[in-house]
Amino acid sequence: MNENNNIVEVVGLKQYFRVKTGFFRRRNLKAVDDVSFAIKKGETLGLVGESGCGKTTVGRSMIRLYEPTAGKVIFDGQEMSKRNVTHMRRNMQMVFQDPYSSLNPRMTVEDIIAEPLIVHKLFPKKKDRHAKVVELLKLVGLSPEHARRYAHEFSGGQRQRIGIARALSVDPAFIVCDESVSALDVSIQAQILNTFKKLQKQLNLSYLFIAHDILVITYMSDRVAVMYLGKIVELAKTTEINRNPIHPYTESLYSAVPIPDPITARKSQRIVLQGDVPSPLNLPSGCSFRTRCPYATEKCAEETPPLIDRGDEHYAACWNR
């Protein structure tokens, strides 16, 4: 059993993809490069960063939808491996980004939600499975009558609720929420976020909540990890990182958040980064952010800064801040 309070620990996770770059030439694309973090029981860790930084790849590698290049994932004190992946996946589920493509259009809602129960050999009797599906539909705010319908008959928000019910069907302790509200209207986003919060309290769930919207991350998360080009550059409690971002990239991200009050918005200073995001196939030496950083020095080009605790569990990877 896990002696500390961590439900999941990620240690030195790397995910490299071999990419064709010409005739008979291949190179490693470093989608995730030496990422480490832990998530406590009942906690939500928000993972934020711009598109292509490796957020989704972290989530998929954690539950072995991608086989990691290196590193390990420890769930409740036990390391995840090829041998125990089926058993571990019962406790680690995922809610996908697109509620339209993540549900099989040829299956009824009951079949979609019951499929994990069949895979993991739970509720062998059809009557018991049906009762469980009805219970799950009620839990996520849908009607038992919806069980006989098909996914295309539902709105985006309802489809995402079906996806949540499917993830909950095997009673997991940990769920990866991969951009789970980004494809929905803003009003529906709020409903789904509140559903996630209600279920977390009710079932003592832990989440890795992946998003590019900082307001969503702030609302959902106890702690926030900021990713840039495959690495975590800052990690802190949500209130602390909102109040005192250390890394220049985090500063820029948070300065771009819209402020509803026009007077406050006029006083706030937007930090605009120079240059373009480097290609993951051709990363700069040392700190990968240095080509866009206003504080970059020669040391930044020579050596990659480690993620260091700056006090009160606020970690940042920067030589000059």
Domain tally, the chain: 2
Are the CB atoms for 184 and 165 separated by under 8 Å?
Answer: no
Task: Based on the fold, state whether residues 197 and 304 are members of the same structural domain.
Answer: yes
List the one residue out of 200, 238, 201 whose CA is nearest residue 216.
238
Task: Based on the fold, state whether residues 239 and 152 are members of the same structural domain.
Answer: no
Could you report how far apart the first and last alpha carbons of the chain are, in Å?
39
List the one residue out of 243, 246, 229 whose CA is nearest residue 287.
229
Task: Based on the fold, state whether residues 56 and 117 are members of the same structural domain.
Answer: no
Task: Based on the fold, state whether residues 31 and 87 are members of the same structural domain.
Answer: yes
Task: Based on the fold, state whether residues 243 and 120 are members of the same structural domain.
Answer: no
pLDDT digits (tens, 9 = 90+) for 21-46: 888 888 889 999 999 999 999 999 99
| Residue 220's CATH number | 3.40.50.300
Write down which residue in 131, 152, 171 finishes a domain.
Answer: 171
* Any domain includes 97: no
Task: Based on the fold, state whether residues 310 and 164 are members of the same structural domain.
Answer: no
Q: What domain range is 71 assigned to? A: 6-91+172-316
b/e code 155-177 from CB counts within 10 Å (16+ = b): ebbbbbbbbbbbbbbbebbbbbb
Task: Based on the fold, state whether residues 256 and 177 are members of the same structural domain.
Answer: yes
Task: Based on the fold, state whether residues 195 and 312 are members of the same structural domain.
Answer: yes
Q: Which residue has the higher pLDDT, 144 or 82?
A: 144
Task: Based on the fold, state whether residues 151 and 182 are members of the same structural domain.
Answer: no
| pLDDT over 90 (residue 270) | no
Task: Based on the fold, state whether residues 16 and 160 are members of the same structural domain.
Answer: no
Backbone angles phi, psi at 302, to 5 degrees: -90, -35
Write down which residue in 128, 148, 171 finishes a domain.
Answer: 171
Write down which residue in 171, 198, 227 finishes a domain.
Answer: 171
Q: Lowest mean pLDDT: which of 6-15, 179-188, 240-249?
A: 179-188
What is the rounded average pLDDT of the residues 164-193? 92
H helical segments located in 140-247? 156-168, 186-203, 214-220, 238-243
The confidence score (pLDDT) of residue 200 equals 96
Q: Within its chain, how far is the Cα of 5 from the centroid?
A: 20
Task: Based on the fold, state whether residues 278 and 146 are members of the same structural domain.
Answer: no
pTM: 0.91
pLDDT digits (tens, 9 = 90+) for 100-130: 888 999 999 999 999 999 999 899 899 999 9
* Any domain includes 147: yes
The confidence score (pLDDT) of residue 265 equals 62
Task: Based on the fold, state whether residues 160 and 71 are members of the same structural domain.
Answer: no
| pLDDT over 70 (residue 285) | yes
